[in-house]
Amino acid sequence: MDVRRRQAKIPQSVKIAAGETPMKPHNPKASDALPLPLYLTNGLFFTMFFSVMYFLLIRWREKIRFFGIDFVQSVIYGSNEDAWDVEEEEEENEKFIIEEDSRMGASPATTLGCAVPLVPMIPQQPTKVPVTEKPGPLITPLSTEEDEQIVNSVVEGKVPSYSLESKLGDCKRAASIRREALQRITGKSLEGLPLEGFDYESILGQCCEMPVGYVQIPVGIAGPLLLNGTEFMVPMATTEGCLVASTNRGCKAIYASGGATGTLLKDGMTRAPVVRFETAKRAAELKLYLENQGNYETLSAVFNKSSRFAKLQRIQCAIAGKNLYIRFNCSTGDAMGMNMVSKGVQNVLDYLGNDFPDMDVIGISGNFCSDKKPAAVNWIEGRGKSVVCEAIIKEEIVTKVLKTNVAALVELNMLKNLTGSAIAGALGGFNAHASNIVSAVYIATGQDPAQNIESSHCITMMEAVNNGKDLHISVTMPSIEVGTVGGGTQLSSQSACLNLLGVKGASKESAGANARLLATVVAGSVLAGELSLMSAIAAGQLVKSHMKYNRSSKDITKISS
């Protein structure tokens, strides 16, 4: 039997003794792991390392993004319904990462061979944010499916919002659809802005375009105001506390002293176009032509063709180089009259073009009118109705009702309304707060609130009379611009306030009588307001009265909760 024996290992010392060359000891190298050169082995290792790191970062970035979306949703809507889905996805992601690590040779319990346990990171669930007040619904259920389609068309820009009235033939329905489209486009709720209870047909083509509702302003009553022997209950629309109460106190003092007297000085609305010529000489020639009394009758006849109420009163010119500003002044009946006078001006400009063909009309309004802005021309020449109103307040009324004395009022008026306003460089503002009363009456009676600017031009005068016992007070207002027909005067609420004053609509007895009476009532109301406020300041009661009437006594913390 052939038995193979294992060759015995010859000791190193024996080999040396036999004269054989000994083998050098073998040191292990990194290249022994793979049969590759060292630089290739290192390159492969670093490639695998950075590939795995990149993969892990991508996966964790997705997890952070999902977590962020859930957190924002929970803060806004106070809901964590999707949090469980996010957690399940995170667990799947962690399992997938571990499997990938295992497939690449890494231990499931370690990451890339590092002795750090892989601990799943579960994001902390965001807490619900308490919402004290829920926002109004941004999508209001509409009455019909057709309305819903129209709203979508407006939102998408297929149907212009301004055309809804003409397309639907129903102003109320158009306002409702426009309102809903606006809420969806802006994402803002209009809850609190009333829609019902308003006649939208009455404002079509006259007062407001593209309506979505209306604003409520409370109306208070001051009076009775005894003016020219007649008692008036004055409506005032305002959100300023203490204003109606103060004006009412002034009315009481005037009434107890025998009433006030109002006088109309002028009545004429203005419009001033600007025209230009090639030379200043030609502009001067037209100026002389217009100011020639021999041409006035012809120009007046041309102007008055615009309306049976329009009556040209005066033409005033101002020249600036080659430019000529022509200020037409005319009566307009019971209308405020801006449109009426503009039509008359256009007639005259067309007529002048025959004799002055080189005249270039730059604009129908050149700001020499001057409308809706403070201007010295209105303060000096007047615009609309010019009124002066006065009263003598007895000494006992000053003491008992107004809680002050005559000497204090006279001194305060001089230092505040006259000297103080002069130092401030006031233009028509030599008063305490005329614009407060003018604005409140204007809004209540349907006037143009922007014309409060020139209509509030007022100088308040006070002096002691009857051997210094009584107080004479007056207000002079050169440019009160009001009307009782047209514009906002025909709205139901404003019409009711005009009816309260007895000046609703056009006067049947005399053209323009109602508008002139309304201007006088405005001046009388300003007189009452000036008297009361000046008395409060003189007596040191201004802050106290405003803290009483101009501050809410409600507990705001209870309202918010």
Assign 330 to helix, strand or coil.
strand
- SS3 for 377-432, per residue? HHHHHCCEEEEEEEEEECHHHHHHCCCCCHHHHHHHHHHHHHHHHHHCCCCCEECC
- Output the CA torsion 382→387→388→393 (10° steps): -140
Q: Is 24 exposed, middle or buried (0-12, 13-18, 19+ CB in 10 A)?
A: exposed
Q: Which of 87, 100, 148, 240 is catalytic?
A: 240
Q: Contact, 264 vs 520, CB < 8 A?
A: yes
- The catalytic position among 165, 267, 448, 454 is 448
Does 281 qualify as catalytic in the annotation? no
Amino acid at 536: A
| Residues whose CB falls within 8 Å of the CB of residue 267, separated by 6 or more in sequence, listed in order | 331, 384, 385, 386, 512, 516
Element (H, E) at 325: strand 323-331
Separation CA 373–CA 455 (nearest Å): 10
- Candidates 287, 343, 372, 416; catalytic one: 372
Contact 512, 482 (CB under 8 A): no
10 Å CB burial of residue 92 (0-12, 13-18, 19+) is exposed
For residue 510, say if its preceding peptide bond is cis, omega within 30 degrees of 0: no
Helices 38-77 & 83-103, crossing angle to 10 degrees? 170
Catalytic: 433? Answer: no
Tokens 């002389």 belong to residue: 288
Whether 240 is catalytic is yes
> What does the block give as tokens for 548?
């009483």
Q: Which structure tokens are listed for 381?
A: 């020449």
Name the active-site residue from 63, 266, 305, 546: 546
- CA torsion through residues 149, 153, 159, 160, sign: positive
Note if 372 is an active site residue.
yes
- Residues identified as active-site: 240, 372, 448, 546
